[in-house]
A and B are shown apart, each in its own frame.
Chain A
Amino acid sequence: AQSVSQHNHHVILSEAASLELGCNYSYGGTVNLFWYVQYPGQHLQLLLKYFSGDPLVKGIKGFEAEFIKSKFSFNLRKPSVQWSDTAEYFCAVTVTMDSSYKLIFGSGTRLLVRP
C-alpha cells in the first residue's frame, strides 16, 4: 500500500543548528510532494511543494527540500533553525489510490528548538 514515512518523530535542536527531516514515500508513479507545518495552536499551512522541474525547491522562512526520485525521498532542510521554527512538520504526497487522486500525509515530526 502507498505510504509516507517520516522516521524522526521528535527532534530537539538548539538555535542556529542545522535541520534535516526525512520523508520517504512508497509509490512508483508520478507524485506531487509537499511539506506542511503546524505551529503551536495554529492550523496547517504550506511550507513548500514540488511538482516538477528543479528537484531542489525553496519554501518560506528559509526552508528547502530536495526530491531524490531514485530514493523516493523528499527531505526538508534548514541551515540554521530559530526558536520560532518550533512546530510539527508533515510531509505529504499525492498518490493514485483506488483509481482516484488522494493526498496522503506522513505521521509528522515534532521539532523543538531550544533558545
Chain B
Amino acid sequence: NAGVTQTPKFQVLKTGQSMTLQCAQDMNHEYMSWYRQDPGMGLRLIHYSVGAGITDQGEVPNGYNVSRSTTEDFPLRLLSAAPSQTSVYFCASSLAGAGYEQYFGPGTRLTVT
C-alpha cells in the first residue's frame, strides 16, 4: 500500500496562475479531505468528501475547488493563485469519516509570488 500520495511536493506559482494539487489513496477510504497548514494556525480544513460525487466546504474554502469522481482521487484546484494561498497543503483520508483516524499524505509546499 502506498497510502496517501500527493503531487507535486513543491510548487511555485505566480499570482493569478491556476493549478491542481493531486491526491490519491489506495486504501479504499470513503472520506477524504484537504487541509492547509500555516505557522501558528495549525491545520485548517479546506474541503472534504464523504464519497465519490459528494464534496462539501470546510473552514477556509474560498479560492479552492474540489471534485471527487473516483474513490481514489481527490484533486484540489486553485483557480487564481494569490500570495495568501502560500502554505503547506495536506491531503488526508479515513475509512468512514471525520471521526476516524486520518491518514495524511506527505504534503505539498506551495509558494505564490
A and B from one assembly?
A: yes
Bound complex: CA A106 to CA B40 (Å): 9
Choice from A43, A92, A102 contacting B107 with Cβ under 8 Å: A43
Contacts of B42 in A (CB 8 A): 4, 6, 90, 105-108
Would you call B45 and A103 a contact (CB within 8 A)?
A: yes
Q: Is the interface of A mostly helix, strand, loop or mixed?
A: strand
Stretch at the interface among A13-21, A44-52, A63-71, A76-84: A44-52
B12 to chain A, nearest CB (A): 20
Taking CB atoms, residues of chain B closer than 8 Å to A94 are 98-99
Q: A44-B104, A90-B43, A106-B42 are in contact. Are A101 and B90 (CB under 8 A)?
A: no
Indicate if the CB atoms of A44 and B101 lie closer than 8 Å.
no
Tell yes or no: B35 within 8 A of A by CB. Answer: yes
Q: Which listed residue, A9, A32, A105, touches B40 by the CB 8 Å rule?
A: A9
A49 touching B101 by the CB < 8 A rule?
yes
Find chain A residues with CB under 8 A from B98 CB.
94, 101-103
* CB within 8 Å for A45 and B104 given contacts A100-B56, A101-B97, A103-B98: yes
Chain B residues closer than 8 Å to A44, beta-carbon distance:
43, 90, 92, 102, 104
Contact A43 B104 (CB under 8 A): yes
CB closest residue in chain B, given A49: B101
Type the 1/0 row for B15-51, where 1 means its CB is closer than 8 Å to any CB of A: 0000000000000000001010000111111001000
Q: Are A105 and B44 in contact (CB under 8 A)?
A: yes
Tell me if A104 is interfacial: C-beta within 8 Å of chain B.
yes
Known: A104-B45, A107-B41. A43 touches B99 (CB 8 A): no
Contacts of A46 in B (CB 8 A): 101-102
Decide: B102 and A43 in contact? CB cutoff 8 A.
no
Residues of B within 8 A of A4 (CB): 42
Which residue of chain B is the closest to A42 with respect to CB atoms? Answer: B106
CA distance A46 to B101 in the complex (A): 7
Let me know if B101 and A104 touch, CB within 8 A: no
Point out residues on A near B: beta carbons under 8 Å. Answer: 4, 6, 9, 32, 34, 36, 42-46, 49, 51, 90, 92, 94, 100-108
